[in-house]
Structure 1
């Protein structure tokens, strides 16, 4: 900020110097009859001032851009940290398309705000003050006109800016909705086509796009109206100054060079104030997106992180216990878990079964510290896990979810999510243990074959094996398997089941399943019903 203020003062002095020199050169060359050689020194000085103004403008732009990138980068980092650390289980009620639009395009627009609006604001404060300091001693009447007319522009800016902000917020909400709608359509192309709803979806996108177009035009109309009003106010002020200067010239109360300097300074006084309004309109998208991002950052964390964490327990040294656990999702009337009791002893394989929607995956999320319980205690070897750093605790866990995610990258990079520092030999061993050898031999570049967007698509069974390979590579003492064969056919399920049996050997395991055959391999079976666990009759 200090650098911007210094550049603002320097620019202001250069503006006044340029006007004074121009007035002196014109007065000497035309009424005075001097040749260009006579005013050569002033011309060189004027060229130097113009060059210096250009350097100051470059400095403003560069410093603003650097600061803007730093601010936007920090904001994106905070947003990412909020999603990954404070709310790792996801953002309920937030559509992914809206979030992407705000975080990428919206904050990109915010860069223009930080790069140009604050520097222009500095100029709008400093330049008029310096100009008025010069004008008043030389022409009091012109100075009084400038002083009286200058506040008119900010008043109009505020009035029009309020309308522009409302219109921009509506437009940005529509753009976020359009982005989310389009993303949903892309994800569900096959479903839409199979149900003969593709044309209806296209029509819906067209309607939303038309709404966005109308709101964009409304915002542009306000911006153009703002420019018209600000230009009109500046023009009227300059005209009044010109009239006052002309009267004084006729009466002989003002020198020609001074009159020219004052007349040249009049539009320079209004220019930075008008530019503030222009930069404000250019950056309203970014401000609106930033407001949405700040609302997200203000969301309370779903997972607590203690300021002074306790030592992280090892699941091999003691039982993992869930005692009296209550949990419910916002907007859902009934609690998902109500007084849940569950214990996994070291080396024990526990199967948790029950109908869909009973909260089995919620139990897994609580153990993974992706969620915090509303009530009850979650302990390992007597240590309350809410007093432990969640990241340290997760290093002792491996998780195979129902629908594993493959990220855009190579097969090796996807497997190394389990252990980023693993060498190629360890990755190959994990792939072999997960039964990925047939896939590896079929891939054109082996481990370096790209998967995900723009790469090779894998079947559900192959994706599940990649998730198992991550778990093999992680080699954690506590393993959580959440419906690992739920979406596979009988043949793939049997093959994955063999890999699961190898993975579970010698580990504590929570196995969340529907299929009795997989649950039968567990040491103990519990049924989750109405938020509580029940041990079925005959269970071993």
Structure 2
């Protein structure tokens, strides 16, 4: 955490000064207590009492001022560092390659960014302050104990190792259990997010009871781990209290006999008891805070895992640049690709294809043939293990990912909308677009008509993932977003699959207009949507088995002809013949 504290080192220094000041004032009260007892109740008692009370009130005022400064500065630092940490973790995570999220649940990542940083904020803004303050009081108290009475101090020091050992022993277990507990909380947090996000499917399949039981099991596991952690903390607290106050009792017994024998004054014993109490209380607080610090260490480990997660898709040290005007020549040169989770099975196997600028290509094939993988590779969500993908003659691996994606727009099969308004979702394609540009894009996607009928028009709230809109409406918003971006390369993943017949016709017309003179790649399951593209590529198990127009493939590819027969009927085959 040092790196996050360094920008605020002057505030940290101010907090440390306030801590030292308040600890010093607190310890000074012991001497005030000694003067009060020895002088305030002796000869000239009234004068001595007045002076002692005056000094005491002055110390109270100084302590209040120091406490205000300490609390404000430490709390400010805690909140600031927490905010910086959240921003840093999110900024790193959002740049990670999509493959990272195949093995890390978004709900768990969200828990780390929110819950774990909140825990760290509490520790930095409160627990660390308490720990430092009580460490200062402990050290200062020991020094003043020696000054006041070395013999009694020896009794106190004998108990210190006995107190420190259980703090260290139990603290290690608390740290391990805290890490495990936070992991379990993140798991059921992710489960909650997933089930609520897909609430319609959950209820449609009457899965509520099963999800309720699963969630209960996860909560109980987290509870059992938390109970173990609490048990260790409870034992730690009980042992520390027993040892500390046993030493205190013995020290008071010895000191009391010294007062009776006249070896020390009552004021000295009172001051010594005060310092011993301060030392004892500081040890108790440190033992409590130590457990909190161990929990924070567990949270910091989880956050550091995210911060240090390697991004497999990096911009090269000296990235190349695309031509000033990107025309959209795309070339797949003998590429092969293996998913990290399936290193023995090629998702794309020696795929080669040239797509001239302004032309359209359809990728067809059965599920798992590699169609969507080609789209992901072109967007550089993954890097190929062999071969090259070139845009206008430049290997895309030599480009910064942001530079590459600036020229590409995608309309996925399942359109993704974000919580917010319609105009915000369309403007996602080009954040600096004017309202008129947004409306023009919506009109081109045949979305303007239904948007105008909504209660708040373009300012209508779409709900989480666009839940307030129909599937066809969400699809047209996604198409409008791509229209607004005005890309050199357009990627369509069955972009009309969610539309009714009338809307599909309208959007198909819009897409054909959008695809005109623009390099377009269409992932197709329904052959009727791609009969007019310039070239169709037939994929099977990651391999390119044939290319050509619709009519050419009906004659040359038995695989394509079989799909056409299933979708269109035998009359298409006869027409081709």
TM-score interval, smaller chain:
over 0.9
SS, match of residue 94 in structure 2:
helix
Find the aligned partners of 1:208 and 1:180 in 2 and give their Cα distance. Answer: 11
Counterpart of 1:26 in structure 2 is 37
1:201 aligned to which of 193, 211, 224: 211
Counterpart of 2:109 in structure 1 is 99
Post-superposition offset of 1:413: 0.7
Counterpart of 1:371 in structure 2 is 382
Find the aligned partners of 1:504 and 1:490 in 2 and give their Cα distance. Answer: 20
SS, match of residue 86 in structure 1:
coil
Post-superposition offset of 1:519: 1.7
Unpaired runs of 5+ residues, structure 2, are: 1-11, 553-577
Counterpart of 1:477 in structure 2 is 488
Counterpart of 2:416 in structure 1 is 405
Counterpart of 1:383 in structure 2 is 394
2:62 aligned to which of 43, 47, 52: 52
Counterpart of 2:95 in structure 1 is 85
TM-score, with normalisation over the residues of structure 1? 0.92
Post-superposition offset of 1:259: 2.1
Find the aligned partners of 1:537 and 1:163 in 2 and give their Cα distance. Answer: 66
Does the 8 Å CA contact 2:338/2:345 hold for their aligned counterparts? yes
Find the aligned partners of 1:399 and 1:55 in 2 and give their Cα distance. Answer: 60
Does the 8 Å CA contact 2:182/2:299 hold for their aligned counterparts? yes
Q: Deviations over 1:472-523 (max 9, x none)?
A: 1111111111221234444443333222112212211111111112222221
SS, match of residue 404 in structure 2:
helix
**Residues 53/378 of structure 1: CA separation in 2 closer, same or farther (3 Å cut):** farther
**Residues 366/280 of structure 1: CA separation in 2 closer, same or farther (3 Å cut):** farther
Whether 1:426 aligns to 2:437 is: yes
**Residues 306/424 of structure 1: CA separation in 2 closer, same or farther (3 Å cut):** same
Does the 8 Å CA contact 2:134/2:286 hold for their aligned counterparts? yes
TM-score, with normalisation over the residues of structure 2? 0.86
Matches within 5 A, 1:259-408: 259-282=269-292, 286-313=296-323, 316-317=326-327, 319-332=329-342, 333-408=344-419
Find the aligned partners of 1:136 and 1:286 in 2 and give their Cα distance. Answer: 35
SS, match of residue 346 in structure 1:
coil
Counterpart of 1:467 in structure 2 is 478
SS, match of residue 476 in structure 2:
helix
Q: Deviations over 1:184-216 (max 9, x none)?
A: 322333333333333222222233333333333
1:181 aligned to which of 182, 185, 191: 191
Find the aligned partners of 1:103 and 1:318 in 2 and give their Cα distance. Answer: 39
SS, match of residue 276 in structure 1:
helix
Post-superposition offset of 1:118: 2.7
Does the 8 Å CA contact 1:344/1:510 hold for their aligned counterparts? no
Q: Deviations over 1:357-390 (max 9, x none)?
A: 2222222122222222233223222222222221
Whether 1:458 aligns to 2:508 is: no
Q: Deviations over 1:51-72 (max 9, x none)?
A: 3333333333333322223332
Find the aligned partners of 1:417 and 1:318 in 2 and give their Cα distance. Answer: 22
Q: Deviations over 1:26-49 (max 9, x none)?
A: 3323355713x5432332322232
Find the aligned partners of 2:397 and 2:77 in 1 and give their Cα distance. Answer: 38
2:535 aligned to which of 512, 524, 531: 524
Q: Out of 367-376 and 503-512, give the one that drifted further.
A: 367-376
**Residues 155/75 of structure 1: CA separation in 2 closer, same or farther (3 Å cut):** same
Find the aligned partners of 1:32 and 1:185 in 2 and give their Cα distance. Answer: 78
**Residues 284/502 of structure 1: CA separation in 2 closer, same or farther (3 Å cut):** farther
Q: Out of 479-488 and 407-416, give the one that drifted further.
A: 479-488
Find the aligned partners of 1:299 and 1:121 in 2 and give their Cα distance. Answer: 31
Post-superposition offset of 1:345: 1.9
Find the aligned partners of 1:376 and 1:237 in 2 and give their Cα distance. Answer: 75
Q: Deviations over 1:317-374 (max 9, x none)?
A: 4622232323222222412122222332211111122222222222212222222223
SS, match of residue 151 in structure 1:
helix
Whether 1:138 aligns to 2:155 is: no
2:226 aligned to which of 203, 216, 226: 216
Does the 8 Å CA contact 1:86/1:304 hold for their aligned counterparts? no
1:502 aligned to which of 510, 513, 517: 513
1:443 aligned to which of 443, 446, 454: 454
2:73 aligned to which of 63, 77, 92: 63
**Residues 385/129 of structure 1: CA separation in 2 closer, same or farther (3 Å cut):** same
2:241 aligned to which of 199, 217, 231: 231
Cα-Cα RMSD: 2.5
Counterpart of 2:572 in structure 1 is none
Post-superposition offset of 1:142: 2.2
Unpaired runs of 5+ residues, structure 1, are: none
Find the aligned partners of 2:336 and 2:86 in 1 and give their Cα distance. Answer: 34
SS, match of residue 150 in structure 1:
helix
Does the 8 Å CA contact 2:176/2:298 hold for their aligned counterparts? no
Post-superposition offset of 1:276: 2.6
Find the aligned partners of 2:341 and 2:385 in 1 and give their Cα distance. Answer: 15
Post-superposition offset of 1:446: 0.7
Q: Out of 371-380 and 280-289, give the one that drifted further.
A: 280-289
Find the aligned partners of 1:529 and 1:262 in 2 and give their Cα distance. Answer: 86
